Structure 1
Amino acid sequence: MRSRRRASMIATVAAVICALLAGGGGATATERPWYEPVSRPSPDAEIGVTGAPFKGTDARGRVRGFVDTHNHVMTNEAFGGKVICGRPFSASGIADALKDCPEHYPDGGGALLENLTVDSDGRHDPVGWPTFRDWPSHTTLTHQQNYYAWIERAWRAGQRVMVTNLTSNAVLCTIHVRDRGCDEMESIRLQARNTRELQTYIDTMYGGPGKGWFRIVSSPADARRVIKAGKLAVVLGVETSEPFGCKQTFDFARCTTADIDRGLDEFKALGVQSMFLCHKFDNALCGVRFDQGATGTILNVGQFVSTGTWWQTEACKGPQKDNPIGSVPVPAIENWLPPGTTVPKYPSGAQCNVRGLTELGEYALRGMMKRGMMVELDHMSVKAAGSALDLLEARRYGGVISSHSWMDQAWIQRLYALGGFIGSYGMDSESFVRDAGATAALRRQYGVGLGFGSDFNGLGSHPTPRGADAPDKVTYPFRTFSGGPLVDRQVTGQRTWDVNTDGGAHYGLVPDWIEDVHRLGGDDVLHELLAGAQSYLNTWSRARGRKAPPS
């Protein structure tokens, strides 16, 4: 017995000596830090961030980190599956995930939506992996920008909450090349399922269920646990044009209160925590805030095709204003109209949507509050948003969000007074700093942080590069806040991205963009962004009827 105990002790001491000689802080060759994968696909995108991601909360239970209030990880499954080319992951590897749609070959001429709305010559190199000559870029609308490894880079550099919106649009699906049906609810179900499959895919790299850094959360408390462990809390939202089939045709609602209740219950079962009542087209719930330029013309045609009615305007009755309606001719889309039908001409000057929050919209809003969901005001007409705020204030309901600068700015104080949260659109760094400065006094007054809404794969614009010769440009490598991980240029295949010349080309450049914002805006705007995750969770807590922790 004594000899066996002595042999065991010798073996233990030998193991410790071997570990020290190997340079580890007690870790053996088979052990890995919690933030490193057990296995990673090869080849794959490089992360370009070294060092341990921060974890934990402070003594008062507050989290730190950035929050993206508006992203679209699974939009490749939306609009009939052929608008966004490429996928955020593939079991077959990066070459399969990051490839263009067959319709874009040989020279990009088949990218209908992108060629109609982006100022370009209508051509691009369709090859993705490994060369990425033309995409993703800060101007692209129809190529994957949310590859999982790019999201991982943002998490490692300090992001702690990401809202991914499940989205679709039946009209865009109908007029575009597609490989599936156009029912928006079916698309939302598929996107929710595939987001969970992405979580499983990442878990597998890290050793099994629950091990990965990508964690879909179902409550503020769940999110705080995830963030305390140093991981990324992923929140599911819905941004679609016909939720629960609630479209309107010739001013006739195509849904009932029973449809709304069934739909909201299904969304809760899918894990959805926030929702837009209307998006892009007027529906049976509310009128929308208009789009501008060529996009506005395209959407107004879509509004007519979907509802049988054009956007209808009136002189604005208050300081709030909807966006000007797009008036740029788009013959390729207007040719879809019946003979003799033309896009209306609208009066110049401020015009507002005549449609506000309908009775069914009020019912849906009350249903969201009953279920503790966060209400998105963006994309509502000012008439609808004003009515929604009246109802929220009457109930003292603080679970209200403006996630990507699509709400009239005159409503900001009302939203903050309720306990809501704002993510400014992820625009170019100079504009972001300017817009953040314009509302900083209100955030100080209400003690809230700031988020950003990246809208990647949301058919929107992304940060433009400031240029290789810009003053105080980002220099690589750089440290994240408080001497954290070291961030170098992002490399995928044969392509190296630099935020100074590439802007917001894909999600992996979010840390670089934040560094650019920090250089231009100083420590104040950085600290507001770092307080964003905590403030967002406070608003979510208010939606659940719980007192938020101190800020």
Structure 2
Amino acid sequence: MSSRQPLFLVAFLCVLGASAPAGAQAVYGYADLHSHLMAEHSFGGGWFAGKLEGPMDVAVQRCDGNFPFKSHAATRFPVVSELLGDDTGWHEGKKRGYDRRQCQYFLGIKIPGTCPQTHFEQWPMWNAIAHQQMWQGWLQQAYQNGLRVMVVSVAESNFLCSNTAPSTRRYDCDEMASIKRQISAAQGFVSRNSGWVGIATTPAQARSLIQQGKLALVLAVEVTQLFPSGDYLAQLDELRSMGVRSVQVVHHADNRFGGAAPIKELIGAANKIETITFSEQTRINDIVCRNGSGSSGTCNGDTYLNERGLTAEGDALVRAMMDRGMLVDVAHLSRKGFVNVYQIAQQRGNYPLLYSHAHMWNTIDSSVDRHEKYIKQDEIQMITNTGGMVGLRTGPEPTVQYGSAVSNSCQGSARSFAQSLMYAVDNGLKVGFGADLNGFTSQLKPRYNFFGCYSDFNQINNAGGPNDLHKKGLAHVGLLPTLMSDLQAVGTPSYYLDHLNRSAENFLQMWERSASMATVQTGNWTGWLNRDGPSGSGDWEGLSDFVLAGQTCSSPVGIECQNTSGVNWTQTGEVYTCAPTVGGICNNANQSDGYCQDYRVRFLCPMSGTFSYSASNTNSAQQNTPTHNVLLNAGQTIQLGTCSVSGASGSGDTYLRLYGPGGTQVAVNDDSCGLLTYMSFTATQSGTYQIRAGCYSSNSCSGTVAYTIQ
């Protein structure tokens, strides 16, 4: 660092202190706005070698190179695996993680090929697409040296998953099931590592975690088949209840919500596989691009663009995300879709837009096949107009020379990244990293390269020799701090590095502004509930027990769990299950000391919902009745029925009764819509109300009861 930088930082921190929320300490450090912490559970769970958790010699140990049988990084096609990447297929000679082998001997003679070799000599590397880059030790290394916020993208691709080798898959390829599995895995990871990492569901919680000396994780979703059917608003609320705070509207292909940014390599892969299999596998290659005059042509991100923007459902989904104060990530949207979202943001008082991982169109060399995910000047202006933010991709693409501060003499390395960083900041963007680690993509290249970067090669040798970043490029998350140092080493002015070092604070301020613009209450919280203590087998705060006792609704969309001292479960260090469909569960046998703390829970009950039933001989809903609990606050009105409410239906002569917290009937209806039922009731007291569904007299009937609460 220059001798002037400490004084600059003092002034800079004073400025940050003025802009942080009252009583909050400004955060100094950087943010990665897009990486894949749970990737080992994606693509069927059989693509990546290595694990997030565990000792180094086990979690990222030397892989088998798919010999003698396929175990990872293999497609279902014989040759494609070998051509896909340097670390896919039969990657003999490139399988060295941590080598745990011990030399084997025969009659005292060492057997060739059995002894350990240099650890991590060939993986992870900058171009790895199939080996773990997010091991917890590396993540902790990044956190200890400046990483303060990471947006964890739980991602899936049915197309990629379904074309991996079936023998390696642990899971099916359903995208929505995959992200829920990954969210659960992330929660488990945090529970086991709560001393240094936590999941933040509010910006205040993120600040609290950081002030405690912990890395704040924020959950985001990135899938192509997003909410493929059914009520997408209910599904959005379900994700929110699981802790998700950002959702990309599209990913690799057009979907029900809008058009995607076409990516040439993916389109080519889809074409090849559909030719090989003689079947339609994906919509990735179905995107239609047109020019300004309406003629179709090859998608190029410039003159021929995806004709599709947001659909009507996409418009409603984006507005719903804004209603809920969520982070709106416009990554992977078509240019037309991007404009559509920006127009909505303008209508909402310039709601901030996040572009979690992107390249700058004007700095990436024209020799690269640029596409719609490379953002242009007008799109930069859209983001700055809304007070949004960009995560700069740490990719190996060659860039043009920008200014004279950093020589662009080693293409695809930190020198190239510096060009984009300086350009973005000079154009008014707030930037963080958009690393996309474990994202099936390559990273920044090494500078220690005799042939491609001769001057850097000599310079590094003269300065004492190479570090891992110099030799391997951005091979794993633990090298992000080294990248920060390397950007300084190549001459990046401190002004631009300070923009990165305030990216965590900028992200939190953007999130705070998003949250402050929320307009919709997503549910009603119960009070804190505690029915059990940790004696016996553990502490069991089960949903079903509270529903049976009439203390909560039947289908909560959210839950909070904490010990009786008010400490969130993620910070207790205990193995704990906290899920709205289950409740809070702590098993003494799973704890290191054999004993759970005493916990309490509260549930978030939805503002709308449905439940189906089939019944007979209910004596007009007075016996043998299916029941469903809802939570109402005094003054709220519930509308419910087998008709007249969105999602309601019925067959036969349905009958509904509503009972209040004291077990007294407060409303009843038989034939509001012919033989079907509808009623409205305004609560005079807060508490759990019970809907009892039945049929007139002793008749049989069935239906779907729908309700809304306002």
- The two structures have a TM-score, normalised by structure 2, of 0.55
CA contact (8 A) 1:202 1:213 kept: yes
Distance in 1 (alpha carbons) for counterparts of 2:84 and 2:172:
24
CA contact (8 A) 2:74 2:88 kept: no
Partner SS for 1:62 = coil
Q: Which residue of 2 aligns with 1:358?
A: 311
1:484-527 Cα distance to aligned partner (Å, 9 max, x none) = xxxx99xxxxxx96111111111111111111112231211211
Q: Which residue of 1 aligns with 2:348?
A: 395
Q: What is the percent sequence identity of the aligned residues?
A: 28
Distance in 2 (alpha carbons) for counterparts of 1:474 and 1:268:
50
Max radius of gyration: which structure?
A: 2
Distance in 2 (alpha carbons) for counterparts of 1:463 and 1:356:
32
* Deviation, structure 1 residue 377: 0.9
* Deviation, structure 1 residue 308: 9.2
Query: Residues 229 and 324 from structure 1, CA distance in 2 versus in 1: closer, same or farther, beyond 3 angstroms?
Result: same
Could you tell me which runs of 5 or more consecutive residues in structure 2 were left unpaired when the two chains were aligned: 1-12, 19-24, 100-118, 275-279, 359-372, 396-412, 519-710
Q: How does 1:436-475 map to 2 (within 5 A)?
A: 436-443=421-428, 449-467=430-448, 470-471=455-456
* Deviation, structure 1 residue 96: 3.5
Query: Residues 217 and 103 from structure 1, CA distance in 2 versus in 1: closer, same or farther, beyond 3 angstroms?
Result: same
Query: Residues 121 and 149 from structure 1, CA distance in 2 versus in 1: closer, same or farther, beyond 3 angstroms?
Result: closer
Query: Residues 390 and 316 from structure 1, CA distance in 2 versus in 1: closer, same or farther, beyond 3 angstroms?
Result: same
Distance in 1 (alpha carbons) for counterparts of 2:206 and 2:459:
31
CA contact (8 A) 2:126 2:474 kept: yes
Mapped pair 1:137 → 2:137: no
* Deviation, structure 1 residue 379: 0.5
Q: Which residue of 2 aligns with 1:73?
A: 37
Could you tell me which runs of 5 or more consecutive residues in structure 1 were left unpaired when the two chains were aligned: 1-54, 204-211, 246-254, 326-348, 479-487, 490-495
Distance in 2 (alpha carbons) for counterparts of 1:220 and 1:440:
24
1:413-457 Cα distance to aligned partner (Å, 9 max, x none) = 1111111111111133122211122222332xxxx6420111111
Mapped pair 1:545 → 2:545: no
Query: Residues 110 and 392 from structure 1, CA distance in 2 versus in 1: closer, same or farther, beyond 3 angstroms?
Result: closer
1:178-209 Cα distance to aligned partner (Å, 9 max, x none) = 22211111111111111121112223xxxxxx
Q: Which residue of 2 aligns with 1:518?
A: 488
1:215-242 Cα distance to aligned partner (Å, 9 max, x none) = 1111111111122223211111111111
Mapped pair 1:94 → 2:52: no
Partner SS for 2:305 = strand
Match of 1:292 among 264, 267, 291: 264
Match of 2:227 among 240, 244, 252: 244
CA contact (8 A) 1:400 1:419 kept: yes
Query: Residues 356 and 98 from structure 1, CA distance in 2 versus in 1: closer, same or farther, beyond 3 angstroms?
Result: same
CA contact (8 A) 2:291 2:305 kept: yes
Mapped pair 1:421 → 2:383: no
Query: Residues 157 and 475 from structure 1, CA distance in 2 versus in 1: closer, same or farther, beyond 3 angstroms?
Result: farther
Q: Which residue of 2 aligns with 1:202?
A: 193
Q: Which amino acid aligns with 1:500?
A: H
Query: Residues 173 and 455 from structure 1, CA distance in 2 versus in 1: closer, same or farther, beyond 3 angstroms?
Result: same
CA contact (8 A) 2:469 2:483 kept: yes
1:66-118 Cα distance to aligned partner (Å, 9 max, x none) = 0000100001101111122221113xx33432247767225999634764433
Query: Residues 59 and 360 from structure 1, CA distance in 2 versus in 1: closer, same or farther, beyond 3 angstroms?
Result: closer
Mapped pair 1:536 → 2:500: no
Q: Which residue of 1 aligns with 2:668?
A: none
Match of 1:501 among 471, 474, 477: 471
Query: Residues 309 and 141 from structure 1, CA distance in 2 versus in 1: closer, same or farther, beyond 3 angstroms?
Result: closer
Query: Residues 56 and 240 from structure 1, CA distance in 2 versus in 1: closer, same or farther, beyond 3 angstroms?
Result: farther
Match of 2:244 among 260, 264, 272: 272
Q: Which residue of 2 aligns with 1:185?
A: 176
Q: How does 1:163-178 map to 2 (within 5 A)?
A: 163-177=151-165, 178=169
Partner SS for 2:201 = coil
Distance in 2 (alpha carbons) for counterparts of 1:161 and 1:114:
35
CA contact (8 A) 2:448 2:460 kept: no
Match of 1:435 among 415, 420, 438: 420
Distance in 1 (alpha carbons) for counterparts of 2:191 and 2:67:
32
Q: Which amino acid aligns with 2:419?
A: R
CA contact (8 A) 1:315 1:351 kept: yes
Query: Residues 366 and 104 from structure 1, CA distance in 2 versus in 1: closer, same or farther, beyond 3 angstroms?
Result: same
Query: Residues 317 and 383 from structure 1, CA distance in 2 versus in 1: closer, same or farther, beyond 3 angstroms?
Result: farther
Query: Residues 371 and 230 from structure 1, CA distance in 2 versus in 1: closer, same or farther, beyond 3 angstroms?
Result: same
Distance in 2 (alpha carbons) for counterparts of 1:317 and 1:275:
33
Distance in 2 (alpha carbons) for counterparts of 1:500 and 1:454:
17
Distance in 2 (alpha carbons) for counterparts of 1:182 and 1:474:
48
Distance in 2 (alpha carbons) for counterparts of 1:429 and 1:84:
26
1:294-341 Cα distance to aligned partner (Å, 9 max, x none) = x441145679512497221111579xx99638xxxxxxxxxxxxxxxx
Q: Which residue of 1 aligns with 2:147?
A: 159
**Comparing 151-160 with 497-506, which one deviates more in the overlay?**
497-506
CA contact (8 A) 2:298 2:304 kept: yes
Q: Which residue of 2 aligns with 1:147?
A: 135
Distance in 2 (alpha carbons) for counterparts of 1:135 and 1:540:
36
CA contact (8 A) 1:216 1:233 kept: yes
Q: Which amino acid aligns with 2:475?
A: A
**Comparing 428-437 with 377-386, which one deviates more in the overlay?**
428-437
Structure with a larger share of its residues in strand: 2
Distance in 1 (alpha carbons) for counterparts of 2:82 and 2:151:
28
Distance in 1 (alpha carbons) for counterparts of 2:318 and 2:161:
27
Structure with a larger share of its residues in helix: 1
Query: Residues 470 and 263 from structure 1, CA distance in 2 versus in 1: closer, same or farther, beyond 3 angstroms?
Result: farther
Distance in 2 (alpha carbons) for counterparts of 1:234 and 1:317:
45
Partner SS for 1:189 = helix
Partner SS for 2:132 = coil
Question: Number of matched residues?
Answer: 426
Distance in 2 (alpha carbons) for counterparts of 1:351 and 1:449:
29
Distance in 2 (alpha carbons) for counterparts of 1:274 and 1:202:
23
Q: Which amino acid aligns with 1:80?
A: G
Distance in 2 (alpha carbons) for counterparts of 1:431 and 1:404:
16
Determine which structure has greater relative contact order: mean sequence separation of CA pairs < 8 Å that are 6+ residues apart, divided by chain length.
Answer: 1
Q: How does 1:262-411 map to 2 (within 5 A)?
A: 262-293=234-265, 295-299=266-270, 304-307=280-283, 310-316=286-292, 324=300, 350-405=303-358, 406=373, 408-410=375-377, 411=379
Distance in 2 (alpha carbons) for counterparts of 1:133 and 1:106:
22
Match of 1:225 among 208, 223, 227: 208
